[in-house]
């Protein structure tokens, strides 16, 4: 597609349930990033993919968070046993290649509310 596509755009879930957030990057972009933005806060880096590989997962807040990317394209961020503090906007971004200087382009985000 023309831009980074994320789904769902909004998700309300009950505490303790699992959620999956999907990201479809710009066609041809090899690098994919997940960030989290809590209400009124800046952007918190979660994880990055180069192709299907995630070299650094240290940004994931806890072991309840996991992410995968398949076919060098679509990525899924999974949050298990959701907690209220997981409520945030989850932003996906992609860039043509990895490394400094590559402009990253963001999707519209998935707004997650845990009740």
Partner 1 sequence: AQKVTQAQTEISVVEKEDVTLDCVYETRDTTYYLFWYKQPPSGELVFLIRRNSFDEQNEISGRYSWNFQKSTSSFNFTITASQVVDSAVYFCALSGKGTYKYIFGTGTRLKVLA
CB of 109 to partner 1, least distance (A): 5
Nearer to partner 1, 22 or 80 (CB): 22
CB of 75 to partner 1, least distance (A): 15
**Residues 32, 66: Cα–Cα separation, whole Å:** 14
| Extended strands (E) in 8-109 | 10-13, 19-24, 31-37, 43-50, 53-56, 65-69, 75-79, 88-95, 105-106
Nearer to partner 1, 1 or 42 (CB): 42
What is the length of the chain? 115
Contact residues: partner 1, CB under 8 A: 31, 33, 35, 41-43, 45, 48, 50, 55-56, 89, 91, 93, 98-109, 111
Strand partners, 106: 93
Nearer to partner 1, 18 or 97 (CB): 97
CB of 81 to partner 1, least distance (A): 26
CB of 14 to partner 1, least distance (A): 24
Q: Among 7, 21, 10, which residue's Cα sits nearest to residue 67?
A: 21
């Amino acid at each position: 597609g023309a831009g980074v596509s994320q789904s769902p755009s909004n998700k309300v879930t009950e505490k303790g349930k699992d959620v999956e957030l999907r990201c479809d990057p710009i066609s041809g972009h090899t690098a994919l990033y997940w960030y989290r933005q809590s209400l009124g806060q800046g952007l918190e880096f979660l994880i990055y993919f180069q192709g299907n590989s995630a070299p650094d997962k240290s940004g994931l807040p806890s072991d309840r968070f996991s992410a995968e990317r398949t076919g060098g394209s679509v990525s899924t961020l999974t949050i298990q046993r959701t907690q209220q503090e997981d409520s945030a906007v989850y932003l996906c971004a992609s860039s043509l290649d990895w490394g400094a200087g590559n402009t990253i382009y963001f999707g519209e985000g998935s707004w997650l509310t845990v009740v």
